[in-house]
Amino acid sequence: MDSRWHGRLALGLLLAPALLWLGALIILPHVDLAVLSFRERVGPRQYAASLTQYRTFFAEPLYWHVFLRTAVMSVIATLLTLLLAFPIAWIIAKLARGRAGSLLFIICLIPFWVSETVRTLGWMILLRESGVLPALLVKLGLTAMPVELLYRDATILVGLVYTSLLFMVVPLVSSLESLDNSLIEAAYDLGAGGFSILRSIVIPHAAPGITAGCIVVFMLTLGNYLTPTLLGGKNSQWFTEQIYTQFITRFNWEQGAAFGFLLLALSTALVILGLAVSGQRFGDVMRRT
Amino acid sequence: MSTPDLVADAVVKRFADHLAVDSLSFSVERGSFFSILGPSGCGKTTLLRMIAGFIAPDGGDIAIGGKSMRDVPPNRRPVNMVFQQLALFPMMSVGENVAFGLARRGTPKAERLRRSNAMLERVGLGNAADKRVDELSGGQRQRVAIARSLVLEPTLLLLDEPLGALDLKLREHMKIELKQLQASFGTTFVYITHDQSEALVLSDHVGVMSHGRFEQLGTPQDLYYRPQTPFVAGFVGANNRIVGRTTQTDGAIAEIATADGWSVRALKIGAIAAGSAVEVFVRPEVAILARSEAQLPPDQPRHAGEVQSVLFDGANSAVLLQEARTRREFRIALPQTGQFSDLKPQEKVVFSFDPSRAVCFAARSGTEGQDA
């Protein structure tokens, strides 16, 4: 009896920092935000419970347009990241031998030694009208005048994919490394071609890794503020900007809190949808990351 | 005679400065069980992977079913392989594993199902089609791996030490099962192994491979009773090895003396000069053990020894002797009559062997004077 109680105490103490962090920094603020989002200011320092904040969201086309746009762009960015990261992960996991593999991995990691702000500013230096790439295009005779490459959807996507790449490569590499090469050879031997092997052997094996990478990248992208704002400027129309505006510019915390919850609902819904479509279970996927 | 199912013609494979397969030529008859036997690193896996098409030979040609396989990728060869670790697809059911190759050929679904079920039935797994691969035992997986290949009716089935991962008892059982499967399907099997017992039990023909070459190619009986090189004599079956110099080389039987003065007689294989270094091999079951000289065959040279240890192993029991004068180890198989069941260490015994059933070879370079 006594020893069991000691065991529980030890477990509790071990978990305490994590639980404290979870409770104080995630659950408490969210409870407070939830309360905020369900009230309305009726007079100075006077508040009443209401659904006005959520009603405003649906009544004002700008808000839900931005909301949907953010969701669609995030999905596109996630898929592009997957398409780009898969061959990279394949090379690291299967083709590169020994040092070459770790070197490639480090090359993927190095950009993350620089802060996201500086990295994004780097993109701005390259892409702005008076920047490196437009000047190069003029020099090559491809454009008569320097073109503005910033403030376009494609630019935002480039920035988001660049920022997310590592988070896709890591789970993919670990799931591809665990794929036994003799399975690929056996499929080849039994008459399968490259595409058929990819579809029937490689992707089913890597599915938990693919799903894990997609969930992480999708959440990071959906909640990203800096990259869309800097690369997209006024045209970015990212939902996190709307939340920022409500909290900081408008000082409308109630509206901002409601937006925050809508974003949380969106990411949860899309992750569940993604898991359902790929036939994965959340627990299996998270064990792979 | 029909064309052989597999013909290798001067096949060469080199890795950096290492010659893995050294201009190898052989052919395998249709419907036969051919084994490539050799220690690890002898080039047998490289050879098998060249036949399967995973690596291309640097020189020479491989023909399967009478057609050259140059530039034919593995998925277009009439060859299937059973991998060492079996490589069953864990993401598919047993039935899907067996039907995989048929699906890749575009066989219609109903036909696929019928043929894969029939094949599973034939290997005794008729009710396992819907099971997951990890629900099967080691022996069942083995059969699925073979069924998955045979359902495609390949000209040639390659097997890469498929019994290596199994425990001893199952291995003995699967050995028999493999031989029966091969006999009932009539498919040509090419089997690689480092286990001489597997090769002897299973094969119609065996190529003993060492350093990228065949030391000898023949029936299991040939290899066992008529080894042509000291490597084969040492590798296939148990053998007593005695190193010495010839003292008399006239006729078929040579007389050999070891450096410490033991004299034995053995059949000469290949050219052996008088006074040259040789290796003599005597099988444990060729030697006859007795307690007194009168019990030995009168026409055989006699040797004396002292029992060092009795190695009881049922039908494979043997006794380890020390030759009286030189203290050299000599192993003799015990007869099944039970007459030596009371043999004790330190007991003095005599033994002899028929010189025409012992073999001697010119010593390999680098082994002169060394004992086994």
Q: What is the mean pLDDT of chain A?
A: 90
CB B140 within 8 A of CB B125: yes
Kindly state whether A203 is in contact with chain B, defined as any CB-CB distance less than 8 angstroms: no
A41-62 pLDDT tens trace: 888 888 888 888 899 999 999 9
What would the DSSP string read from start to end of B334-363? Answer: PPTTSTTTT--TT-EEEEEE-GGGSEEEEP
Confidence class for position A1, pLDDT limits 50, 70, 90: low
What would the DSSP string read from start to end of A141-201? Answer: TS-SS----SSSHHHHHHHHHHHHHHHHHHHHHHHHHTS-HHHHHHHHHTT--HHHHIIII
B313-346 pLDDT tens trace: 888 899 999 998 889 999 999 988 888 888 889 9
Chain B neighbors of A179, CB-CB under 8 A:
none
Residue with the larger pLDDT of the pair A278 and B91: B91
Q: Looking at the complex, report in whole angstroms how far the Cα of residue B74 sits from the nearest Cα belonging to chain A.
A: 5
B261-299 pLDDT tens trace: 899 999 999 888 888 999 999 999 999 999 988 888 988
Angle, helix B109-122 to helix B138-150, in steps of 10 degrees: 130
Chain B neighbors of A201, CB-CB under 8 A:
89, 91
The tally of CA atoms less than 13 A away on the side-chain side of residue A8 is: 4
pLDDT at B368 over 50: no
Q: Report the percent of chain B where pLDDT is more than 90.
A: 74
CB B290 within 8 A of CB B351: yes
Query: Residues for chain A: how many in total?
Result: 289
Cβ–Cβ below 8 Å for B104 and A190: yes
Q: Looking at the complex, report in whole angstroms how far the Cα of residue A187 sits from the nearest Cα belonging to chain B.
A: 8
B154-183 pLDDT tens trace: 999 999 998 887 888 888 888 998 999 999
CB B94 within 8 A of CB B131: yes
B4-36 pLDDT tens trace: 999 999 999 999 888 999 999 999 999 999 999
Contacts of B273 (CB under 8 A, 6+ apart): B246, B249, B362
d(CA B288, CA B300): 10
Across the interface, which of A182, A201, A204 has its CB nearest the CB of B85?
A182
pLDDT at A288 over 70: no
Amino acid at A44: P
* Count of helices and strands (H, E) across chain B: 8, 20
Chain B neighbors of A187, CB-CB under 8 A:
89, 100
> Would you state the pLDDT for residue A280?
80
pLDDT at B371 over 60: no
A192-208 pLDDT tens trace: 999 999 999 999 999 99
Kindly state whether A196 is in contact with chain B, defined as any CB-CB distance less than 8 angstroms: yes
* Count of helices and strands (H, E) across chain A: 15, 2
Confidence class for position A98, pLDDT limits 50, 70, 90: confident
Cβ–Cβ below 8 Å for A186 and B75: no
pLDDT at B366 over 70: no
Chosen from A97, A181, A185, A189 to mutate, greatest number of chain B CBs within 10 A: A189
What is the rounded average pLDDT of the residues B177-195?
Answer: 92
Any bridge partners for residue B255, and if so which? B248, B265
Chain B neighbors of A195, CB-CB under 8 A:
none
A216-248 pLDDT tens trace: 999 999 999 999 999 988 878 899 999 999 999
Classify residue B109 by burial, with Cβ atoms within 10 Å: 0-12, 13-18, 19+: exposed
CB A167 within 8 A of CB A141: no
Q: Report the percent of chain A where pLDDT is more than 70.
A: 98
CB A8 within 8 A of CB A16: no
pLDDT at B369 over 70: no
How far CA A201 is from CA of A172, A188, A192, B73, B91, in Å, comes to 15, 10, 10, 19, 8
CB B107 within 8 A of CB B69: no
Across the interface, which of A186, A190, A196 has its CB nearest the CB of B152?
A190
pLDDT at B251 over 90: no
Chain B neighbors of A204, CB-CB under 8 A:
91
Nearest CA in chain A to B79: A189
Kindly state whether A183 is in contact with chain B, defined as any CB-CB distance less than 8 angstroms: yes
B31-70 pLDDT tens trace: 999 999 999 989 999 999 999 999 999 999 999 999 999 9
Chain B neighbors of A192, CB-CB under 8 A:
75, 100, 104
Cβ–Cβ below 8 Å for B73 and A188: yes
Q: Looking at the complex, report in whole angstroms how far the Cα of residue B145 sits from the nearest Cα belonging to chain A.
A: 10
The torsion of the CA quartet B260, B262, B268, B273, rounded to 10 degrees, works out to: 40
What is the rounded average pLDDT of the residues A83-105?
Answer: 90
- 150-189 in B: which are within 8 Å (CB) of A? 152
Across the interface, which of A180, A189, A205 has its CB nearest the CB of B80?
A189
> Would you state the pLDDT for residue A41?
85
Kindly state whether A185 is in contact with chain B, defined as any CB-CB distance less than 8 angstroms: yes
Nearest CA in chain A to B101: A190
Across the interface, which of A183, A191, A205 has its CB nearest the CB of B101?
A191
Chain A neighbors of B190, CB-CB under 8 A:
none
Kindly state whether B60 is in contact with chain A, defined as any CB-CB distance less than 8 angstroms: no
Query: Residues for chain B: how many in total?
Result: 372
d(CA B154, CA B146): 11
Kindly state whether A192 is in contact with chain B, defined as any CB-CB distance less than 8 angstroms: yes
pLDDT at B193 over 80: yes
Handedness of CA B264, B269, B273, B277 (dihedral sign): negative
pLDDT at B119 over 60: yes
Kindly state whether A187 is in contact with chain B, defined as any CB-CB distance less than 8 angstroms: yes
Percent helix, strand, coil in chain B, to 5, is 25, 35, 40
Cβ–Cβ below 8 Å for B80 and A190: yes
Chain B neighbors of A191, CB-CB under 8 A:
75-76, 101, 104-105, 152
